[in-house]
Amino acid sequence: MRIVGKTSQYVVMSLFAVAFLAPLVWMISASLRPEAKVLSSPPKFLPTDTQWSNYGEVFDLIPVFLWNSVKLAGLNVIGILIVASMAGYAFARLKFAGRDIAFMVLLATSIIPGIAYLIPQYIVFQHIGWVDTQYPLWVPKVLTPVFATFLMRQSFLTIPNELEDAGKIDGASTFGIYWRIMLPQTKPALAAIGVFTFLESWNDLFGPLIYITSENLQTLPVALAQFQGEYFTKISLLMAGATISVVPVIAVFLFAQRYFIQGITMTGMKG
Amino acid sequence: MSMATITMARDTSSAVSTADVRRARRKQNLTGWLFISPIVVGVVAFQFFPILVSIGASLTDWNGIAPPKFVGLKNFTEMFTDDPLFLQTFKNTVYFTLASIPLTIGIGLILALLCARPIKGVAFFRTAYFAPYVTNVVAIGFVWFWFFQPDNGVINGLLHQLGINGPQWLSSSSWAMPAVIMVSVWQGIGYPMIILLAGLQGLPNEFYESARIDGAGAWQRLRFITLPLLTPHFLFLLITQFISSFQVFGLIYVMTKGGPGHATSVYIYNIYQNAFSYGKVGYASAMAWILFVVIAAVTFLQWKLQKRWVFYS
């Protein structure tokens, strides 16, 4: 595509980059300003009058929220990787009665919008006393990774038969073949699902919003939204909290960008 | 190695009785179902069962606590004849969807075209364009909430520099929706960009070579080769973007809570309020099923209409 010259391409790309990054840069510099200077006229995007004590103040408030976010992301990632890889392995590599029908039925559930079953789920959880606990934020997710199972199945399908046969001859059990021989071959798919799940769990708003009322159980992003009037009364503090809520995600994304993009294009255009 | 397996399998199969075969098959079935049992239990317990409850609930007057009262199709008729808010939130959602889909896909295409050219630093730009997509909606909503403050916000501050008196944005019933759409587009562009970028990188080279020999200019190549070859990707994006835009919730919740008035109240926000604020579980369930019908119908229509414009090479 040589529609424009190289220089003008850099100019256009840089203008777009400014548009995409400026709000995030503003968030960081607002988090470092004294409250009175957060909204200045004319607006300033780069840090001025840097005041690190905002972060000290915020760190008195957020460790529990941060821990909840980390804990839930960890439970979701580990749980989904185990459940989805086991199911994906069986659908791709094992022969058993009802396999293909079961797979079709699982896929078919994904056409129903989540809100249709989230409402009755809430009522069921109310009856078994799970409202205002963290169970609804990981148990149903870990046990229903339909999309991740689909991805794992695709990944297991590409592994050559020889490896599996070698394991069978050595007398390994089905679980042993899955765990020691096949699973290590699917690292890119596991990484993609891991990154997706981490982001989804970390950024989830709806679940924590409807299920959690106790402060000490809330996740960081939703705590910012729920307790803005109580704890995060200043814009600078809110922005410091927001910055902290964004940093782990950006870090994971930068670190695992390749897998993430691979995952998107894999889910996107296969089929 | 595989030869050995085959001969071994043949040897054993001729020696074993049918009872052994049956036992082996039963063991195979059991193993398979054990591997998928966690997800099967999960989907039955957390999706099938709630879906059945939801279908039943949509025919009742129910607050989720007291026993439900069967009312037939009353919830559905009420929505369309006796609930102006339902119709308004439906219209708002259509407005949001129709505005944000062309913007995200259009700008996403421009960015994908820019990033497809292998120039120095392209990875930085791609990451920058994608960063908002992975950022949580609460942080984004708050930043833009302050950006849109009428008196001392960043947007009107910048407009003021240009000598323009900015509107009231989130507190104006006509500007609140465009403001929310802008933020949603800004956040969402990364996804179509990545999909289209993957599409561009997978395009076969031979078309371009013969076009160049025929003397086609850059614009002509874009118009007559690149865009037609990307139509399957556009179809995929239209379908997925419709499904996600029609269910927008997070930005609305953080930035406007549906206001001012009900100017930015969208479909899912309305369901959320009915189910979790007003305790109208039956009515909210009925709305969820109308949502399902709308999404299914539009997706089906897009799938059927693809013959007219999607090009499969």
Q: Kindly state whether residue B222 falls inside one of the protein's structural domains.
A: yes
- Specify the pLDDT at position B45: 93
Among A4, A20, A27, most B C-beta atoms within 10 A, so best to mutate, is A20
Residue of A25, A119, A257, A70 lying closest to B273 (CA atoms): A119
3 state DSSP class of B161: helix
Q: Kindly state whether residue B126 falls inside one of the protein's structural domains.
A: yes
Q: Are residues B136 and B187 in the same domain?
A: yes
The answer to whether the Cβ–Cβ distance between A41 and B152 falls below 8 Å is yes
Q: Kindly state whether residue B262 falls inside one of the protein's structural domains.
A: yes
Instruction: Give, for all 271 residues of chain A, the pLDDT tens digit.
Output: 455 688 889 999 999 999 999 999 999 999 998 888 888 777 888 887 788 888 988 888 889 999 999 999 999 999 999 999 999 999 999 999 999 999 999 988 888 888 888 999 999 999 899 999 999 999 999 999 999 999 999 999 988 888 888 888 888 889 999 999 999 999 989 999 999 899 999 999 999 999 999 999 999 999 999 888 777 778 889 999 999 999 999 998 888 888 888 877 776 544 3
Question: Cα–Cα distance between B290 and B18 in angstroms, integer?
Answer: 53
Q: Mark which residues 156-195 of A lie under 8 Å from B by CB.
A: 161-162, 165-166, 168-169, 174, 178
Residue B76: exposure state from Cβ atoms within 10 A (0-12, 13-18, ≥19): middle
Query: Which bin fits A49, alpha (ψ -120 to 50), beta or left (φ > 0)?
Result: left
- Distance of CA A207 to CAs A7, A133, A210, B265, Å? 47, 11, 6, 19
The amino acid occupying position B251 is: L
Q: Which of A16, A116, A210 sits opposite B129 (nearest CB)?
A: A16
Q: Are residues B130 and B157 in the same domain?
A: yes
The amino acid occupying position A76 is: N
Chain B partners within 8 Å of A104 (Cβ): none
- Sorted by sequence, the CB contacts under 8 Å of residue A221 that are 6+ apart come out as A69, A202, A203, A205, A245, B136, B137, B138, B139
Q: Which residue of A has its CA nearest to B143?
A: A27
The encoded tokens of residue A30 equal 């607002």
Interface contact B97, partner A, CB < 8 A? no
* DSSP category for residue B69: E
Question: Cα–Cα distance between B113 and B117 in angstroms, integer?
Answer: 7
CATH 2.20.25.10 fits A61-269, yes or no: no
Q: Are A44 and A28 in contact (CB under 8 A)?
A: no
Give the number of domains in chain B: 2
Interface contact B162, partner A, CB < 8 A? no
Report H helices in chain A.
6-31, 53-61, 63-93, 99-108, 114-127, 139-142, 146-157, 161-169, 174-176, 187-203, 206-211, 220-226, 235-255, 257-269
Q: Which of B195, B198, B271 sits opposite A115 (nearest CB)?
A: B271
Q: Which of A10, A117, A268 sits opposite B51 (nearest CB)?
A: A117
Q: Kindly state whether residue B62 falls inside one of the protein's structural domains.
A: no
Alpha-carbon Rg for chain A, nearest whole angstrom, is 23
Residue of B58, B96, B57 lying closest to B267 (CA atoms): B96
The answer to whether the Cβ–Cβ distance between A265 and B194 falls below 8 Å is yes
Chain B nearest-CA distance from A37, in A, is: 11
Q: Which of A16, A90, A238 sits opposite B142 (nearest CB)?
A: A238
Interface contact B144, partner A, CB < 8 A? yes
The answer to whether the Cβ–Cβ distance between B195 and A210 falls below 8 Å is no
The answer to whether the Cβ–Cβ distance between B138 and A202 falls below 8 Å is no
Chain B nearest-CA distance from A121, in A, is: 6
Question: Cα–Cα distance between A244 and A186 in angstroms, integer?
Answer: 32
Q: Mark which residues 190-229 of A lie under 8 Å from B by CB.
A: 199, 202-203, 205-206, 209-210, 221-222, 224-225, 228
Cα torsion B215, B220, B224, B228: sign: positive
For chain B, which residues score pLDDT lower than 70? 1-16, 313
Q: Which residue of B has its CA nearest to A31?
A: B143
Chain B partners within 8 Å of A224 (Cβ): 138-139, 142
- Specify the pLDDT at position B313: 62
The answer to whether the Cβ–Cβ distance between B131 and A26 falls below 8 Å is no
* DSSP category for residue A180: I
CATH number of the domain enclosing B184: 1.10.3720.10
End-to-end alpha-carbon separation of chain A, Å? 28
Q: In terms of residue numbers, what domain contains B50?
A: 18-57
Interface contact B131, partner A, CB < 8 A? yes
Residue A143's CB: how many other CB atoms inside 10 A? 20
pTM score: 0.89
Q: Kindly state whether residue B302 falls inside one of the protein's structural domains.
A: yes
The answer to whether the Cβ–Cβ distance between A94 and B31 falls below 8 Å is yes
- Specify the pLDDT at position B67: 87
- Sorted by sequence, the CB contacts under 8 Å of residue A270 that are 6+ apart come out as A154
Chain A partners within 8 Å of B157 (Cβ): 40-43
Interface contact A266, partner B, CB < 8 A? no
The answer to whether the Cβ–Cβ distance between B43 and A120 falls below 8 Å is no
Q: Are residues B99 and B234 in the same domain?
A: yes
Q: Are A245 and B139 in contact (CB under 8 A)?
A: yes
The answer to whether the Cβ–Cβ distance between A21 and B128 falls below 8 Å is yes
Chain A partners within 8 Å of B8 (Cβ): 169
Q: Kindly state whether residue B6 falls inside one of the protein's structural domains.
A: no
Q: Compute the count of residue pairs across chains A and B with CB atoms less than 8 Å apart.
A: 287
Among B27, B41, B49, B154, most A C-beta atoms within 10 A, so best to mutate, is B154
Q: Are residues B195 and B50 in the same domain?
A: no
The amino acid occupying position B149 is: Q
Q: Are residues B47 and B94 in the same domain?
A: no
Q: Which residue of B has its CA nearest to A111?
A: B296
The answer to whether the Cβ–Cβ distance between B134 and A239 falls below 8 Å is no
Chain centroid offset of residue A64 CA: 19
Residue boundaries of the structural domains of chain A: 1-51, 61-269
